[in-house]
Structure 1
Amino acid sequence: MNESQRGLAEALYQVSLKENTIKSECISNSESLRSVVHNGQLLERALTFFLSSLQTLCEKTMEDTFVTIRNHDQARLEYDVQRHELIGLQMQPNASASAKASADEKCKKNCEKYERLKEDVKVKLKLLEENRVKVMHKQLTLFHNALSAYFSGNAKVLQSAVDQFSSNGGAESDGVAPSFLEQ
């Protein structure tokens, strides 16, 4: 759409150079179309930043949390297997003390790994919830501002919204409580 409008703006400008009787109308329409093209490009940039933030949230942050959960589940299985083997060895009267000690050590290591990953999952889920709310709130607000400015023709507010997107990605809190890690 922007390319068509840009082409039409250029065509009207070229006509204004050749036709003196409609020169002012062609120039006025050409300038209006150039402004629309510029604002369309700004809105496109705002949309790109908005989608990039959503993509980061969905494809990186959430995926990282899911990987940690899968690792936690795997650690739980490994811990359960080691614990079952340890109980089996302890039930055998002829099992050597070194075999029991080795199984006990493996069981403790797997238990520690499981507990560590359990804490990691808790922290990541809490951070994911906080970030999801903060990111979505800020990005939706900025995108709404950009859309409103675009459709009202307010180029300065639109430029400001795009600048906010690009300068910090909406990182400032705007009254949102700090993360539990920041407290």
Structure 2
Amino acid sequence: MADATGTKAHQPPARPSDEADRNQLDMAKAEGEKYLASLDYMATKVADAGGKTRAGDYIVAFAQERAEGMYHLKGGALEWVEAPETMNCHMEIAVADAADGRFVPYLDIDCVLSKDGRDVVSFKPEFLWHPGLYHYGKDLTLPDGDGTYDLSIRIAAPAFPRHDEDNGRRYGEAVEVAFTGIKVETGHE
């Protein structure tokens, strides 16, 4: 399968090994199918804009919504924090393993939203717990407001170890993805 740049993507094996038997691989695949169904729902039914593509060993997706509040741990207690009035956009990035569809945690992701060929905002989305879909995200300020934007995403090769001599050879290179012509709707939820 070719990735977003048109080059042949590495396809990790999914075969039983001394680390993962057939049942474990099947359960991982079933978990991934559920995650991808939730991801598709988020990107196409819930968000104002969304998209998905294959990139190397990953499936990378985004969803754009209006800025939103979240719980933050402050002084040992959870506190609801509304998005500041200056923020008008919430960008969500979901990254799944292309082999089994499961969410990939602990990634270093850099994003740039651009408009009319100029960079508007660069950001590093952080892990966000969500009751429906683990993802990375960030509230942003888009000074130009609503409009058509392009999103570029760079995912560094993660530093975490990979189990399994047969199945673990994945995520060895950085990947870059571009989504163009995104109709962004700004505001607050």
Q: Structure 1 length normalisation: TM-score?
A: 0.22
Q: Structure 2 length normalisation: TM-score?
A: 0.22
- Specify which structure has the higher proportion of strand: 2
- Specify which structure has the higher proportion of helix: 1
Structure possessing the higher radius of gyration over alpha carbons: 1
